[in-house]
Structure 1
Amino acid sequence: MLQKQALYPVHVVVVGAGIGGLACAIACRRSNPPLEVTVLERAPEILAIGAGIHIPPNACRIVKHLGLVEELKKAQAYSVEGFTLRRYEDGRVLAEKPMGDRMETEYGAEWLAIHRGDYQNVLLGSARKNGAQVLLDADVVGVEEGTGESSGKQIVLIKSKDPITADVVVGADGLWSGLREYVLGFPKPPLETGDLAYRGTFTREQLKTFKNKRVDEIMEAANVQVWLGSNRHAVFYPLRDKTEYNLVLLVADDLPPGMRTAQGNLDEMAANFEGWDPALNLIISCLKSALKWKLLHFQELDQWTKGTVALLGDASHPTLPYQGQGAAMAVEDGAILGLLLSKLQNSGIASDPEERYAQLTDVLRLYEDLRKKRTEVNVAGALDTRHYYHLSDGNEQIRRDQELAELPASNWEGPCNFNWGDAPYQKSLLGFDSLADAERNFDAWLGRRRQGGSQGDVRL
């Protein structure tokens, strides 16, 4: 039976200072009263690396809750005005989905785009401002259950540093997570998807030198532009107030098995899009390096938690990037985990180590139950998007293009075989209020626990 106790300050150790881990840290610190939070990052410094990233409405709702929308806009996040799908060979528009204000009306928040490094810096600054301790050059090498005075806690082992004791450990350590093996009890390396990406950014000045009308029109739009073709596609959109532009080229993986990245050849990269829209080929020529990134994922894990250790983001549900939801789902994970732990702390945590451990274990299982189905749907949805993006010319491609052409007449409110245009699917993906859902489920869980039930009674 859960009884009201004097407030026990829960100490959360977050392993990994990526977007999901920092969102978790901020959510934990913004509770009233805040949880104690230590973020451990293996890198000696956090650099503004990467390229563009999306903050779709479901994630924007979270960053709004964390009080960060204006900070992100100061860091040159902008509201995406539209999403344009084009035919590969001539750039003809297949469909142009209106976004902008419609995102607020339809889904409850904006769709933003920003440079990944700027996004991470805003989150890092907020975590520190809210009182999270962020330790760099802290390479976590293991977790052990505490004994004696540390009974009921976790001991986080750090290479060449003193261990840290925690009530809860969050594995936000990405695709190659070390904590995933601890949770599962066996290694679970990611699998190759058959795709790789070339990614890069370049300046407005580079594009202007072409003096090409079509390139100028494309670069002036605050739109995500996607060219669709057989077994490949290209994505282009502005960053940093249109002073920079992001380009991602998705093609078939030709790297040897086990090789994650490799320096490619510019001519080879461009040859993947030979015969495509001449405007796209001009844009591709702006890339001055051709680093290949193998795209990896794995099937949904059987479990995300072990005792008081929980995984989030790519450590538990990596996805292909074709819906712009990888970081968004990690942000949802982090915020919900912070909310559940905060509400548990405020409801009263037992002073007895064994009972406290049981409470925290159960609330982490609730977190897993709340998140698994939603992230499974997203991972499957990204695979479906990949299929429709990469159709070869033929009957299925013709049917896809016909359906896309009919969407504006329906005001984007009807069904579509392609989830990109399917209103019910988009509503469930982008309009779902994950925080309100977590609040409701926590209250129901707490009521059952106080009546002597168990977390296993949860019905979602």
Structure 2
Amino acid sequence: MAGEGAESPHQQQSDGLHVVIAGAGMGGLTCAIACRQANPPLAVTILESAPEIMPIGAGIHLPPNATRVMSHLGLLDRLKEAGGYSLQNFVLRRWANGDVIVAKPIGDRVKKEYGEEWLTIHRGDYQMVLLKEARRSGARVVLDSQVIGIEACPNESSGQQTVLLKNGQRIGADVVIGADGRSMPPVETGDLAYRGTFTREQLQSFKNARIDKLIEESNISVWLGPGAHAVFYPLRNKTEFNLVLLCADDLPEGVRTSNGSLEEMAANFEGWDPVLSMIISCLKTALKWKLLHFKELDKWTKGPVALLGDASHPTLPYQGQGAAMAVEDGAILALLLAGLQKGGLTSTSEDKHAQLTSTFQLYEKLRKKRTETNVAGAVRTRQFYHLHDGEEQVDRDRELSELPSSKWQSGCKWNWGDAPYQKSLLGFDVLDDAENRFQEFFNESKRTTNGAAL
């Protein structure tokens, strides 16, 4: 088949579960790697609609809950070799002049507080590390393969489903995992984004002391302003820099991306920090895209089919958790399926279907509350970032400026500074929790089965 990986030294096992994953994004690739690392490994086929996986995108964050999964998979060092590195501070600034409201330490504090590092990396580099490892571990990667449907096969002795591809091919699967985003009609959020990357040389050409300081620091800088914000941070060992501008959506209804004018983009941030204006002037093109929201599914699973990442709980980007939640999903799905296979699947198709369905119901219980909390938190962060100047903004800035005196251990009205919220989001070990919950589930299943047999 087109695009099939040739760098897979490990053979797919012929017995056990065959997992078909639709989508070679972060969540799908993580799931594939974790399935192949299981003992015994699960057979995995990844179907990706793109004819080629290109290292596109810009910066992406791996907060501690994401690096915890990468560490579990043995990929943290490889991500660092690919350009991932630890930032030092998360700095919030005033929109008009760039004055620092508060600087939250990341670096050593995050590792100590939450048990893992916070890394920043180019999205394309991140995906390439995962893709290479998926192929190396023996996952079969098939490109130019768009999934258009799933056909149940209840009468076949294997109990398999058939995945239908746009090119007419049909692939049998015990388990199908949807990891390729959403096709449901979106809801417009009222925000749009511009994104650009810059070379170090471009920014040094300004010969501006404040810009020179920005590019030497390993910080995330976020300018908070009325109805808009801007995010700036370094990539690839400070040889490149990422800028994202978030402002009010002015695209026509139904239009998701558009080429915008540089003048229009700059006008959205007229009167903002002069340093930010200089950085914006480096942009050569102004691609803008609408930020959309999708209604979360009431049920993620129906039979032996599961969804992960944006396919089940799409989120606004304001907590930097979209990819992190997807890799959590993928690793947990693999853990549950590996545990089920190792514990012994029944031979009859009807019983196997019931076992898989029950396992995916456990997956939903494990993930639904956590991902809903993140989706709601991102909406709350949007409000926090976009306050207009006034009494509430003054109170926000005062409360934030007082956080360092508590050594970041206090509560806060805003999620960004709330210690219990951040501990739950970044410090919770989802894999350890899932393993314990699966063992309880499996033991209870065995007791129920034995009781029925008696």
The verdict on a shared fold, with TM-score over 0.5 as the criterion, is: yes
Partner of 1:174: 181
Would you say the 8 A contact 1:62–1:331 is kept in 2?
yes
Preserved CA contact (<8 Å) 1:313 1:327? yes
Residue 120 of structure 2, aligned match among 98, 106, 113: 113
- Residue 49, structure 1, aligned to residue 61, structure 2: no
Q: Tell me the residue number matched to 1:264.
A: 260
Deviation at 1:191, TM superposition (A): 1.1
1:142 positional shift: 0.6
The answer to whether the aligner puts 1:383 opposite 2:390 as a matched pair is no
SS of alignment partner, residue 126 of structure 1: helix
Distance in 2, matches of 1:8 and 1:140, equals 24
Q: Deviations over 1:339-398 (max 9, x none)?
A: 100011000001111101110111011111100000000000001100010000001000
Partner of 1:440: 436
Task: Please tell me whether residue 33 in structure 1 is matched to residue 40 in structure 2.
Answer: yes
Q: How does 1:397-416 map to 2 (within 5 A)?
A: 397-416=393-412
Letter of the structure 2 residue corresponding to residue 360 of structure 1: L
Is 1:215 the equivalent of 2:222? no
Residue of structure 2 equivalent to 1:179:
none
Per the alignment, residue 8 of structure 2 pairs with: none
Secondary structure of the corresponding residue to residue 207 of structure 2: coil
1:266-345, aligned counterparts within 5 Å? 266-345=262-341
Q: Secondary structure at the match of 1:149?
A: coil
Show the counterpart of 1:67: 74
User: Following TM superposition, by how much is the alpha carbon of 1:202 offset from its aligned partner in structure 2, in angstroms?
Assistant: 1.3
Query: How far apart are 1:121 and its partner, in Å?
Result: 0.2
String of CA shifts for 1:108-134, please: whole Å, max 9, x gaps. 100000000000000000100110000
Give the Cα separation in 1 of the matches to 2:154 and 2:380: 48
Which secondary structure does the structure 1 equivalent of 2:50 belong to?
A: coil
Q: Is the 8 A contact 1:8 1:348 kept in 2?
A: no
The Cα offsets for residues 222-280 of structure 1, whole Å up to 9 and x where unpaired, read as 11000000000000000001110000000011111111101101010011111000011
Distance in 1 separating the partners of 2:155 and 2:360: 23
* Distance apart, 1:161 and its partner CA: 4.1
- 1:219-234 matches, cutoff 5 A: 219-234=215-230
Runs (5+) with no aligned partner, structure 2: 1-13
Q: Paired residue for 2:418?
A: 422
Aligned equivalents of 1:453, 1:299: Cα separation in 2: 37
Mapped partners of 1:160, 1:377: distance in 2 = 39
Distance 1:158 1:58 in 2: 34
Deviation for aligned residue 1:451: 1.6
CA deviation string 1:77-125 (max 9, x = no partner): 0011110000000000000000101111100100000000000000000
Q: Is the 8 A contact 1:175 1:314 kept in 2?
A: yes
| More divergent stretch after superposition (363-372 vs 155-164) | 155-164
> 1:447/1:8 Cα in 2 relative to 1: closer, same or farther (>3 Å)?
farther
1:300, distance to aligned residue in structure 2 (A): 2.6
Q: In structure 2, what is the Cα distance between the partners aligned to 1:414 and 1:300? A: 32
Distance 1:192 1:12 in 2: 34
- The CA deviation string for residues 32-66 of structure 1, in whole angstroms up to 9 with x for no partner, is 11000000000010001111000000000000001
Does the aligned pair in 2 maintain the 1:8–1:349 contact within 8 Å? Answer: no
Report the equivalent of 1:185.
none
Code of the residue aligned with 1:206 in structure 2: it is Q
The structure 1 segments of at least 4 consecutive aligned residues displaced by more than 3 Å after TM superposition are 147-151
Partner of 2:107: 100
Q: Unpaired runs of 5+ in structure 1?
A: 1-6, 177-187, 455-460
Q: Kindly indicate whether the alpha-carbon contact (under 8 Å) linking 1:145 and 1:151 is maintained by their aligned counterparts in 2.
A: no
TM-score normalized by the length of structure 2: 0.95
Structure 1 letter corresponding to 2:192? L
SS at match of 1:381: helix
1:106-145 aligned within 5 A: 106-145=113-152
Q: Distance in 1 between matches of 2:424 and 2:203?
A: 37
Decide whether the 8 Å contact of 1:115 with 1:240 is kept in 2.
Answer: yes
The code of the aligned residue for 1:202 comes to F
Task: Indicate conservation of the 8 Å contact 1:150/1:165, yes or no.
Answer: no
Q: Distance in 2 between matches of 1:370 and 1:306?
A: 16
CA RMSD across the alignment: 1.3
Rounded Cα–Cα distance in structure 2 between residues aligned with 1:410 and 1:267: 43
Letter paired with 2:413: N
Q: Say if 1:8 and 1:345, in contact at 8 Å, map to a contact too.
A: no
Taking structure 1 as the reference length, the TM-score comes to 0.93
User: 2:157·2:348 contact (CA, 8 Å) conserved in 1?
Assistant: no
Structure 1 distance, partners of 2:421, 2:295, is: 21
The alignment partner of 2:169 has SS state of strand
Once the two structures are overlaid, the 10-residue window that deviates more, 128-137 or 188-197, is 188-197
Equivalents in 2 of 1:202, 1:153: separation in Å?
49
Residue identity opposite 2:427 in structure 1: G
1:175 shift after superposition: 3.4
Residue identity matched to 1:260: R
Task: Tell me which amino acid in the other structure corresponds to 1:352.
Answer: T
State the one-letter code of the partner of 2:151: E
Counterpart residue type for residue 95 of structure 1: V
Letter in 2 for 1:321: P
Once the 2 structures are TM-superposed, how far is the Cα of residue 289 of structure 1 from its aligned partner? 1.0
Alpha-carbon offset, residue 151 of structure 1: 4.9
